Amino acid sequence: MAVTKILPRSGGLQQAIDYVLNGDKTDDCILTAHFNCDPGREYRQMMQTKWETHRTDGRQCYHIIQSFRPGEITPELALEIAKEFVREHLDGFEAVIGTHVDRHHIHSHIVFNSVNADTGEKYHSTQQSYYQQIRGISDRLCREHGLSVIMAGESAKAISYVEWLRRSKGQPTFRSMLEADLRAAIQDANDLGHFFLLMEHMGYEIRHGDRLGFRLRGQERFQYPGRRNTLFTENGIRAAIQGNLAEIEAGSRPTVLSRPKYRPYLAHPKYTGFLALYVHYLYLLGKIGQRQYPPRMTPHLRQEVMRFEQYQAQFAFLRENDITTPADMAAFEQRTEETLAKLIKQRTILNVRKKKRQKLYTALADVEALAPSKALYEEGLTGMEAEFERYMEAVALLESSGVPRNRLTEEKAEIYEQLAELNREIRTERQKLKLCHEIQNQVPVMEQDIQRTEEHQKEVREHEHRRR
């Protein structure tokens, strides 16, 4: 299996070539190859191509890396696969290849000019072209040579090489352990607050916000598993706790069910104010998108058509909240700001309560998380002294507090649940204010666009009338 990665470079072309062709890494340059350029003249020829095509700025080169599973491939075959890849994907580009054998895993480096020597066009790499071309070609070449590939259905998102290497050896990674612990906590939790409590007792610190972050105590960085799997977002966890984990994991049920609000039938209203403006503007953008008018679409209007769905959402927001006039908008903003202030005040009070109890909450988590270390220490295992000491300090603190441990656990879960709910409500209110500001900024632009388009249409009609 080859894990592929492409890196755009805006400078350092000579250094990149030197690195790829390094004799210490390529068995005295035996495991190297050149395409459309000569050994020793690679940099000069690539720069000559840029000068001749007047494309010396921007991206200077691209660097592709193919990393293979240890023990799966020979250096010669890795070099041959890299050559076949260049012939198929980089026709006309000046490229150098070096298969490096200085590590325990064999990997090939390909550095190629950003400008095609035959067509003078620059190379462009997107996420779509990566999966359809670079990854697709690499996987096919691996299959043709009897190597394993990443099967369809597996995660296509990037992982670190260390994690990929550990996976290939069947070793657990932090990400896999975190996801296993998240699933275990979801299965055992009664509600979201209880879930956070269980995760803390497993030794995790939690970062709340737009995304939930988790890290074990002592780690530097938080992991955000919700980026890869919506099951591990706050809404996904809440839905799974309610008894839907098996269906969500099997793919037979979405993570979050979207239930539209019930709307009784109403006759089509006659819109006024902001609503009338949005109806007019959406109609205009719809006609422009269908190329019905105006005859010449300006770059500005082309961008506006691309934002059609955004304006539809703003129109729905105005209609749902009965905002028609600037006075309505100002009143809505005032109510929202008052609601937001109350929610933030409630959150501050909860955070103060949490801070007063934080030492006890941390001790509660330490007792649960360090219980295995305590057992190992008592069995005589060395290296557990610091963990055992922390465990005993936590027990002593809990006992001296005079608060029963079960009551403290319930209190902590309740506070965490309330904080999660308040954070969600605060994000909702802030999103409302953001929409209000976007609408107020957009209204003058809409009015101007409508006026210009109608004036242009009037000129076209008058011109046609004179021609008749």
Other Cβ atoms less than 10 A from the Cβ of 200: the count is 23
What pLDDT, on the 0 to 100 scale, is given for residue 152? Answer: 37
Span 403-450, pLDDT tens digits: 998 899 888 888 888 888 898 899 899 999 999 999 999 888 888 877
Model confidence band, residue 295 (pLDDT cutoffs 50, 70, 90): very low
Cβ atoms within 10 Å of 309's Cβ, excluding its own: 8
Greater pLDDT, 208 or 295? 208
pLDDT at 445: 84
Q: What is the mean pLDDT of residues 369-375?
A: 80
Extract the runs of DSSP E, i.e. beta strands, from 152-275. Answer: 204-207, 213-216
Question: So what's the pLDDT on residue 163?
Answer: 54
> Phi/psi of residue 29, each to 5°?
65, 10
222 vs 94 pLDDT, higher one: 94
Each residue's pLDDT tens digit, 56-113: 888 899 999 888 877 778 899 999 999 999 999 999 999 999 999 887 778 899 999 9
Give the mean pLDDT of the chain: 80
Residue entry with tokens 């937001």: 340
Q: Residue 154 — very low, low, confident or very high, per pLDDT cuts 50/70/90?
A: very low
CA distance 244 to 252: 10
**Main-chain phi, psi angles of 118, to 5 degrees:** -85, -45
pLDDT band at 156 (very low <50, low <70, confident <90, very high): very low
- Per-residue pLDDT at 216: 77
- What is the tens place of the pLDDT at every residue in 346-367? 999 999 999 999 999 889 888 8
Distance CA 347, CA 339 (A): 12
Q: Please give the DSSP secondary-structure letter assigned to residue 261.
A: P
Instruction: Please count the CA atoms within 13 angstroms of the CA of 221 that sit on its side-chain side.
Output: 5
**Average pLDDT of the segment spanning 120-147:** 78
Max distance between CA atoms of the chain, in angstroms, equals 104
CB 212 within 8 A of CB 234: yes
Mean pLDDT throughout 223-230? 84
pLDDT at 45 over 50: yes
Amino acid symbol at 323 = I
> For residues 19 and 42, is the Cβ–Cβ distance under 8 A?
no
Given pLDDT bands bounded at 50, 70 and 90, which one contains residue 249?
low
CA distance 115 to 95: 11
In this prediction, residues 189-205 reach a mean pLDDT of 81
Q: What DSSP element (H or E) covers 12? A: none
User: For the chain, how big is the Rg over CA atoms in Å?
Assistant: 31
pLDDT value at residue 162? 47
